[in-house]
Amino acid sequence: MSRFIDPHAPRSLLLADDVVISRADAQRVIEMVVKLSKADAVQAVVRSSRTRNVRFAANQLSTAGIIEDTTLVVTSFIGKKHAAVTTNDLSPESIERAVRKAEAITRLAPDDAEALPVLGAQTYADSSAAWDQATADLDAASVTAAANTALAPARKGTTLTVAGFLVTGADAVAIGTSAGLFAYHRNTSANYTLTVRTTDGTGSGWSGEDAVAWSKLNFAKVSAEAIEKAERSRNPVAIEPGRYTVILEPQAVGDLVGLMPRYFNARSADEGRSPFAKAGGGNKLGEAIVNPMISLTSDPTNPMVMTSPFDGDGMPLTKQSWITNGTLSTMLVPRSWAARKNLVATGNPNNIILGGGSMSRDAMIASTQRGVLVTRLWYLRETDPRTMSYTGLTRDGTFLIENGKITKSIKNMRFNESPLFLLNNIEALGPVRRTANDGPGTQIMPIVKARDFNFTSLSDAV
Amino acid sequence: MTTRRDFVATTALAAGALALGRPQDAAAHSRLVPHVQDRMDAPTRDLLLLAIDSCKRAGASYADARIQRVQRNSIFTRERQILDVVDSDTMGCGIRALVDGCWGFAATPRLTAEGIQRAANEAVATAKANRIARDKSVELAPNPAHPDATWSSGFTIDPFTISIEEKTTLALAVNTAAMTVPGVRFVSTQFNFLKEERNYANTDGSVIAQTCVRTYTPIAITAVSADRSDFAIRESVVQPTGRGWESVLENDLVVNAKKWAEEAAEKLKAKSVEPGRYDLILAPSNLGLTLHESVGHPTELDRAYGYEANLAGTSFVAPPEKALGSLKFGSPLMNIYGDRSQPGGCATIGYDDDGVKPDEFDIIKDGIFVDYQTTREQAMWLDWWYKKRGMATRSHGCSYADSWSSVAFQRMPNVSIRPGAKDIGWNDLIAATDRGIAIMGRGSYSIDQQRYNGQFGGALFLEVRGGKVVGQLRDVAYQFRTPDFWGAMDMIGGQKSYELYATFSDGKGQPGQANAVTHGCVPTRHKQINVINTGRKA
């Protein structure tokens, strides 16, 4: 008989009433893996999540659900060999099966010349403020009621249709090794994004918020922003594509600058296949790469975007400054590259923070002779890895600024631009915001004003 | 459904066979017959029936449940090094309940009677909570019950029976072959295999067990200039497929790796394209993604009605009452259809996640738009159109959830272009072109949220002059307005040039889901398309 409905089947090590796996349960699972392991070394990672969501569109509630899952990844190390096995069945029987299977696959795998020892015990920053119990316990009725703050008024009128997504999450991650490492982090998140379209099909506006706690989301503010943008963006006119001064709202900045972290990899640069590769060998560490106003950091302890204080290997994460006053000040050094080149490994960051400035949005607009105000960007894809160039389009609220005022709604435009060039052409930085994206955010971005943004074609899309 | 215990026994056997050193060659495998799906086992069936009965008892008018198991195996290599070997296995149950015209969904990995009942109650409670935000009721198009149905994709060699040793040996041989070419400094080869066991039941009486396998082996070869001031990548050389290990063997990867590496080295020296208007000749490996983005997505009915407005976007093929039967999408040579039955197709399946047996349907006929991709819920929205055409109102079978933990919604079937009447192919299109660019493989791709303005790159660009290929180009991207691009299609390959392009992971929805989908394509020519140069100097 299958294990599915076997009344004598071993019980999961998870306690049924936990929202996500607790520190104690995670520790028990990891200790069991370490005890069972016959490999030279073993690493176990437990990830557990419970999310609740509601979608609405065309003024209707469409789908809603609650999803929970817990997975265990066992990585075995034998000599220079290693392999990983993942399962979402956490019964003792299944855990043993995963350990045995990881060992069996490891023995068959070829040697990895760059295999590294598992990490031993580490010290991590406190991340307990990333958890909000009320968000973890939120019920379906509260989320539906929030959806109604946009649905009910839209249905009352005849000029607007709304589409939105509300999602709350509770997540836990734990990592342990046979060398004595144990790390545990849990966090909650609440995210609301809303698109408001005019029923004549000529206007569209977007807004969103993201926070650790449900109680911090301001539904009325999100609705007001999206409605204002939709109404104001009706009947857009075409302007000639070309190089424009732009004011990018924080979401748009995050859409482009948020793509940068992977390019900081020291190995790619040293191998000559990165924008930070130096002709003749080496990388551009210590060189001025963008405007001196720019500082780009990662910091798991920042209260606005508190994230796990360790990466997927259990490496402790601290504040890292990738760009300091325009200079490339740190490169991301993977453990394997650190071992080969005698460098200090940095760990993989979980968030990205672009420092802001003091100029308000209104002041940016008032100081602009002719420019384009952008709400958010869409469908960004790399066009040239040598210069970090991307293409993409504006979306959900694009406006022309003339003589210090927003004068017209304009058609969306495609751009071909690099975040490096954007950050080089900065004229002013404004207040920061935790961006919302289409899911939980891990970025803090300011509104920025920059010159010579490269718009290359018009789009008829609203 | 096999249990995880059975699975361990199978892999142990496979590993044992390999330890004896028996080579696994294509000829030996070709004698194997396609996989045959067993009827659903009793414990899985009991749990599914418990799920839908619990929903009914709690007040649902309709419910369905899926118990799904997804196994993945991936090998990551670079040059002469194994980066990782990863195996994953996930199993659980997703339950959908319709109460008073509102949906509720709950998903749990706890495959016990207690766990299933709890999830069923959650699904119904969520649906009930949603009633305060209800305006219109969900109505489902009629669909016959399929009791005790089974289906399997047409793989002959289950990749999960092939040992890690055999897979890694082949991947490293690919890298070694590529590295023999001067100038080539880096190669990454990945092998990805996926096996889905999908068990489904609904309150209409359907009980369906299905298995499908997908395979994707991306290879990227990088040439770097001697002074490290420049590099070029050749990728997008192998298509994902809804087949098994047999497809990997047929691709002759080691022999081809050297050819692809030579193309990388040549690309590094290729001249940068002069921007302007060119006649484009697009290989199936390039056209597939352009078709996917510019035709596949805008003809999804949920997008046309605004259901994806908050993320994926809406569609220029709207509103349906104005677009259906009237919208001129492209040239009269353009005939596009949807299906979920092409052998080897990544979206190929016997029954969708509404329990519907998908049909083959025309989307664009002689350049005119005639139908959307639909689910049971959506087909009802087009009742007027189907009645007008004298057709039954039925779903085209496009409901899909990417995991047990995801709610089913409308996803793309295989959307393909019908070959032209003339028996011509790639070389004929090149020979007929005076000044053009022939493009193979996928590159950068971007399109707006209503699918008007697209900009697409490629993996390999060939300059065509006087009907001949004269060399490679680089930094090419073509940019278009969708109906203009398809309207400019003046030549199209015939049946002999038909190939399957596929994408392994196409995103849509909130929370985001990924599906795999195939596009059958022939080479096409598009007159005077805007080409830009994407290369920039820092």
DSSP codes of every residue in B211-260 = EEEEEE--EEEEEE-TTSS-EEEE---S--BSS-HHHHHHTTHHHHHHHH
The whole-model pTM stands at 0.94
pLDDT at B21 over 50: no
Please report the pLDDT score of residue A12 as a whole number.
53
Which H or E run includes B430? helix B426-431
Q: Find all residues with CB under 8 Å of A196, minimum gap 6, and list them.
A: A150, A154, A160, A161, A162, A204, A205, A206, A223, A226, A227, A229, A230
pLDDT at B492 over 80: yes
What is the rounded average pLDDT of the residues B319-337?
Answer: 98
CA distance to partner chain B, nearest, from residue A62 (Å): 7
Nearest CB neighbour to B511, from listed A51, A70, A456: A51
B228 contacts A272? CB cut-off 8 A: yes
B114 pLDDT band (50/70/90 cuts)?
very high
Residues of B in Cβ contact (< 8 Å) with A438:
310-311, 510, 512
Distance CA B373, CA B299 (A): 6
Is A127 in CB contact (< 8 Å) with chain B? no
When the pLDDT of each residue in chain B is averaged and rounded to a whole number, the result is: 93
Q: Find all residues with CB under 8 Å of B14, minimum gap 6, and list them.
A: B160, B161, B162, B163
What is the rounded average pLDDT of the residues A8-28?
Answer: 72
A268: region left, alpha or beta (phi > 0 left; psi from -120 to 50 alpha): alpha
- Search chain A and give the residue with CA nearest B453: A459
Please report the pLDDT score of residue B149 as a whole number.
97
CA distance to partner chain B, nearest, from residue A408 (Å): 21
Neighbour-count burial of B101, counting CB atoms closer than 10 A to its CB (0-12 exposed, 13-18 middle, 19+ buried): middle
Task: Give which of B383, B25, B1, B382 is closest to B201, Cα–Cα.
Answer: B1
B13 pLDDT band (50/70/90 cuts)?
very low
Neighbour-count burial of B131, counting CB atoms closer than 10 A to its CB (0-12 exposed, 13-18 middle, 19+ buried): middle
B203-260 per-position pLDDT tens digit? 999 999 999 999 999 999 999 999 888 999 999 999 999 999 999 999 999 999 999 9
Residue of B75, B446, B513, B530 for testing the chain A interface, max A β-carbons within 10 Å = B446
Please report the pLDDT score of residue B483 as a whole number.
98
Task: Give which of A33, A121, A24 is closest to A84, Cα–Cα.
Answer: A33
Nearest CB neighbour to A113, from listed B81, B91, B450: B81
Nearest CB neighbour to A378, from listed B90, B172, B449: B449
Do residues A393 and B453 make contact, with C-beta atoms less than 8 angstroms apart? Answer: yes
B88 contacts A86? CB cut-off 8 A: yes
B123-138 per-position pLDDT tens digit? 999 999 988 887 889 9
A47 pLDDT band (50/70/90 cuts)?
very high
pLDDT at B5 over 50: no
Q: Residues 9-28, chain A: which have Cβ within 8 Å of B?
A: 9, 12, 16
Spacing of C-alpha B39 from chain mean position: 27
Do residues B30 and B24 make contact, with C-beta atoms less than 8 angstroms apart? Answer: no
What is the rounded average pLDDT of the residues B324-337?
Answer: 98
B159-209 per-position pLDDT tens digit? 999 999 999 999 999 999 999 999 999 999 999 999 999 999 999 999 999
pLDDT at B517 over 70: yes
Q: Residues 400-459, chain A: which have Cβ within 8 Å of B?
A: 412, 414, 416, 418, 420-421, 438-439, 456-459
A280 contacts B228? CB cut-off 8 A: yes
What is the rounded average pLDDT of the residues B138-151?
Answer: 97
B455 contacts A414? CB cut-off 8 A: yes
Do residues B119 and B106 make contact, with C-beta atoms less than 8 angstroms apart? Answer: yes
Residues of B in Cβ contact (< 8 Å) with A337:
none
Please report the pLDDT score of residue A275 as a whole number.
96
- Search chain A and give the residue with CA nearest B378: A62
CA distance to partner chain B, nearest, from residue A354 (Å): 21
Query: What does the DSSP 8-state code read for residue B333?
Result: T
- Alpha carbon distances (Å) from A149 to A29, A166, A196: 43, 12, 13
Strand partners, B284: none
Residue of A91, A160, A384 for testing the chain B interface, max B β-carbons within 10 Å = A384
Task: Give which of B153, B19, B55, B452 is closest to A395, Cα–Cα.
Answer: B452
Q: For the stretch A154-164, what's the b/e string if a residue is b when 16 or more beta carbons lie within 10 angstroms of its beta carbon?
A: bbeeeebbbbb
B368-406 per-position pLDDT tens digit? 999 999 999 999 999 999 999 999 999 999 999 999 999
Q: Residues 264-323, chain A: which have Cβ within 8 Å of B?
A: 271-273, 275, 277-281
Distance CA A120, CA A123 (A): 10
pLDDT at A331 over 60: yes
A383 contacts B444? CB cut-off 8 A: yes
Neighbours of B331 (CB within 10 A): 18
- Search chain A and give the residue with CA nearest B127: A64
ipTM over 0.90: yes
What is the rounded average pLDDT of the residues B293-306?
Answer: 98
B106 pLDDT band (50/70/90 cuts)?
very high
A13 pLDDT band (50/70/90 cuts)?
low
B500-516 per-position pLDDT tens digit? 999 999 999 999 999 99
Nearest CB neighbour to B407, from listed A65, A144, A151: A65
Distance CA A398, CA B315 (A): 19
B423 pLDDT band (50/70/90 cuts)?
very high
Please report the pLDDT score of residue B228 as a whole number.
85
Please report the pLDDT score of residue B400 as a whole number.
98
What sign for the dihedral angle of Cα A402, A404, A407, A408? positive
B216: region left, alpha or beta (phi > 0 left; psi from -120 to 50 alpha): beta
What does the block give as tokens for B140?
């489902």
Please report the pLDDT score of residue B32 as a whole number.
63
What is the rounded average pLDDT of the residues A99-115?
Answer: 94
Please report the pLDDT score of residue B133 as a whole number.
82
A279 pLDDT band (50/70/90 cuts)?
confident
- pLDDT cut 70: percent of chain A above it: 95
What is the rounded average pLDDT of the residues B448-470?
Answer: 98
CB contacts < 8 A, A to B, total: 319
pLDDT at A27 over 80: yes
Nearest CB neighbour to B47, from listed A4, A68, A271: A4
Residues of A in Cβ contact (< 8 Å) with B165:
108-110
Q: 3-state SS string over A263-332?
A: HHEHHHHHCCCCCCECCCCCECCCCECCCCCCCEEECCCCHHHCCCCECCCCCECCCEEEEECCEECCCE
Helices (DSSP H) in B349-425: which residue ranges? 376-379, 383-388
Q: Provide, for chain B, the percentages of residues in helix, strand and coil under a 3-state DSSP scheme, each rounded to the nearest 5.
A: 30, 35, 35
Residues of A in Cβ contact (< 8 Å) with B451:
461
Residues of A in Cβ contact (< 8 Å) with B449:
378-379, 393, 395, 461
Please report the pLDDT score of residue A151 as a whole number.
94
B11 pLDDT band (50/70/90 cuts)?
very low
A461 contacts B450? CB cut-off 8 A: yes
What is the rounded average pLDDT of the residues A196-201?
Answer: 96
pLDDT at B339 over 60: yes
CA distance to partner chain A, nearest, from residue B422 (Å): 35
What is the rounded average pLDDT of the residues A318-343?
Answer: 96
3-state secondary structure of B432: coil
Nearest CB neighbour to A459, from listed B163, B222, B452: B452
Which H or E run includes B491? strand B489-492
Do residues B219 and B237 make contact, with C-beta atoms less than 8 angstroms apart? Answer: yes
Distance CA A9, CA B256 (A): 50
pLDDT at A447 over 90: yes
Spacing of C-alpha A127 from chain mean position: 18
Nearest CB neighbour to B126, from listed A64, A69, A389: A64
What does the block give as tokens for A450?
């920059």
Residues of A in Cβ contact (< 8 Å) with B297:
none
B102 contacts A65? CB cut-off 8 A: no
**How many degrees, rounded to 5, is the angle at CA B232 between CA A384 and CA A291?**
35
CA distance to partner chain B, nearest, from residue A69 (Å): 6
Please report the pLDDT score of residue A221 as a whole number.
95
What does the block give as tokens for A41?
């070394």
A85 contacts B89? CB cut-off 8 A: yes
Nearest CB neighbour to A161, from listed B41, B122, B306: B306
